[in-house]
């Protein structure tokens, strides 16, 4: 589609297809990104849910760690869901030995804060930035944001106060999976960031 934002989904591990399908339905030109040359062709990136330690290891094997870090520093819009939030966090609690993140979000995140796979659940979460209708969110072995630094802001928290969505500039991080429940507003906001950055660069 002419004029569509060209965005990538990091396709090393995780629920890549669900994100790609949702972005395509929203009118984006979607590319699966595994190599630095592929990253260089997109204007925004989604880091999907999966296993953060595996995504970290594969990103280094495929030579993607430093290019993604450089893209984040340069202002590329990035949406990270579940494991993607962990990869965007500047600090990770309960990481495995040697695990690294891409960084960029001024937050401290705890891995697997909601327990094991069998303890997965869905919840309606209020996100005032996205309107009055609550977000239907799927939490699957998700992380939680333990602290939010001055550069980032909280977008949503559970009734018990646990922060589950944050934003910092062009970076969006979510503890949950909107792509599984059919929630489109976070992906739409991500695409709005991509269009804004592309317009500024034109």
Both tokens assigned to 106: 């001024």
* Contacts with 30 (C-beta within 8 Å, 6 or more apart), sequence order: 6, 7, 8, 9, 20, 23, 24
d(CA 109, CA 113): 9
d(CA 13, CA 179): 16
d(CA 86, CA 100): 9
- Choose among 56, 47, 58: nearest CA to 19: 47
Residue 85's H or E segment, with its range, is helix 83-88
- The active-site residue out of 19, 167, 179, 183 is 179
- Catalytic residue at 82? yes
- The active-site residue out of 18, 51, 66, 82 is 82
- The active-site residue out of 19, 167, 177, 193 is 177
* Contacts with 129 (C-beta within 8 Å, 6 or more apart), sequence order: 155, 167, 189
- Decide the pairing of beta strands 121-125 and 45-47: unpaired
d(CA 87, CA 124): 24
d(CA 108, CA 59): 21
Q: Which residues are catalytic?
A: 82, 177, 179
């Amino acid at each position: 589609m002419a004029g569509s934002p060209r965005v990538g989904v990091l396709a090393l591990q995780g629920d890549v297809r669900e994100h790609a399908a949702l972005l395509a339905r929203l009118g984006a030109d979607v590319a699966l990104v595994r190599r630095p040359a592929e990253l260089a062709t997109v204007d925004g990136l989604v880091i999907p849910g999966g296993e953060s330690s595996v995504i970290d290891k594969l990103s280094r094997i495929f030579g993607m760690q430093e290019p993604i870090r450089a893209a984040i520093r340069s202002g590329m819009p990035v949406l990270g869901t579940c494991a993607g939030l962990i990869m965007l966090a500047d600090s990770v609690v309960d990481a495995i030995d040697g695990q690294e993140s891409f960084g960029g979000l001024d937050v401290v995140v705890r891995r697997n804060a909601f327990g094991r796979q069998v303890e997965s659940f869905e919840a309606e979460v209020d996100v005032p930035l996205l309107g009055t209708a609550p977000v239907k969110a799927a939490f699957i072995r998700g992380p939680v944001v333990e602290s939010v630094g001055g550069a980032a802001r909280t977008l949503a928290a559970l009734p018990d106060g646990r922060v589950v969505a944050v934003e910092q500039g062009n970076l969006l991080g979510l503890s949950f999976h909107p792509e599984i429940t059919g929630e489109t507003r976070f992906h739409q906001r991500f695409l709005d960031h991509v269009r804004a950055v592309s317009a500024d660069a034109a």
